[in-house]
Amino acid sequence: MQVKPWMTTEPSCSLLVFDCYESKINGQASEFISQWSHFDRKTTSRVVIHHCPKLEVPDLLKEFSRMEVLKVYNSTIASWNESAALSQSYHPNLMMLYLVRVNLPNGELPAGLLSDDFPLALGDIELCATNLRSLPEDLDLKWPKFASIYLERCELTEVPESLARLAPFDLSLAMNPISTLPPSLLEGGVGYLHVGSTLISELPANVTEISSFLVLRVDNTTVSFFWDWIDTLVEHSDVFAGGSIYGSELEKNMSGVTTDFNRSAHSSLLMNASEANWEVLNQAVDCSPPLLKTQFSLDYFDATYGLGQ
């Protein structure tokens, strides 16, 4: 809905939805300018851009000074230059960024998402079902620390140290083809780490400074054992291992099919299958099937913003 506030000549627009499919356009910068020039951009708090096959994020984005939420869905980003970057100077109120079913140039974060003046309040960054293949080594010098970061159903094959240095409060790398994790990722103060449905078969062997409050998800992986450092963790927090090899073996042990794990013991708590330890295992490990493989609700987003919605 557009309204015309007192003492202004342009209508306001608190929610802006830019639908390339409905407008029969590609999402080029000139098309944005023609549509975004007819209202007061400083009144917009939420921006949704979707169904754009050739998205060129316009410099005009800098004029959305009160934008709090930016969502890009089902689009291919052709360009998002530094001149249109998200920044503290132009977007001091931005708190949430969602890129869903988005193709990124060369599978990398565009310059528009890597400003040296990145918004300080942007504490919720979620990318789901994208072709993201790599992260810059200086990401920790760009993005804010202690944020919630979901990079799910992407094409990441490794976790750079820069992501660990960001020390996200809430980090999900679910459903990426990642096979190894750096120890620093578990030592960096992450409060919630989801690496379920990845290619990891074991956690790092040498973790020395793990937080006792970390919640860890390794569900739907081939993880079959845990190293001894996990004992410190499970004294205070749960490990979610539903659908993992470890979870399957634990269920067999408790049902009487087997009496021990296939791997030699590492963790004195989690690799002890004796009946005397079952109460500890029941409290420390959750082997129930997860309701969702990702933290991000892709089905909800598809139902809300999909074609024809």
- Give me the amino acid identity at 78: A
Taking 60 as the threshold, does the pLDDT of residue 169 lie above it? yes
Measure the CA–CA gap between 183 and 161, rounded to whole angstroms.
Answer: 9
Q: Is 250 helix (H, G, I), strand (E, B) or coil?
A: helix
Overall pTM > 0.85:
yes
Local confidence band at 4 (pLDDT 50, 70, 90 cut-offs) = very low
**What percent of the chain clears pLDDT 90, i.e. is strictly above it?**
73
Local confidence band at 8 (pLDDT 50, 70, 90 cut-offs) = very low
**CA-atom Rg of the chain in angstroms:** 23
pLDDT given at position 115: 98
Residue 87's closest CA among 57, 60, 65, 58? Answer: 65
List the alpha helices (DSSP H) in the chain. 20-23, 29-36, 161-166, 183-187, 230-234, 245-255, 278-284, 298-305
Q: Which residues pair with 56 in a beta bridge?
A: 79
Residue 107's closest CA among 50, 197, 177? Answer: 177
62-79 pLDDT, tens digit per residue, is 999 999 999 999 999 999
pLDDT mean over 27-52: 90
**What percent of the chain clears pLDDT 70, i.e. is strictly above it?**
94
Residue 18's closest CA among 68, 63, 74? Answer: 74
Taking 50 as the threshold, does the pLDDT of residue 9 lie above it? no
Local confidence band at 26 (pLDDT 50, 70, 90 cut-offs) = very high
Least confident segment among 1-15, 184-198, 199-213, 275-289: 1-15
Q: Name the DSSP letter for residue 235.
A: T
Taking 80 as the threshold, does the pLDDT of residue 12 lie above it? no
Burial (Cβ within 10 Å: 0-12, 13-18, ≥19) of residue 91: buried
pLDDT given at position 140: 96
Among positive and negative, which fits the CA dihedral 67, 145, 199, 257?
Answer: negative
Measure the CA–CA gap between 243 and 204, rounded to whole angstroms.
Answer: 20
Distance in Å from the first CA to the final CA of the chain? 18
Measure the CA–CA gap between 269 and 95, rounded to whole angstroms.
Answer: 41
Place of tokens 């450092």: 229
Local confidence band at 265 (pLDDT 50, 70, 90 cut-offs) = low
Taking a C-beta distance cutoff of 8 angstroms, is the pair 242, 251 a contact? no
pLDDT given at position 213: 80
Measure the CA–CA gap between 196 and 216, rounded to whole angstroms.
Answer: 9
pLDDT given at position 47: 96
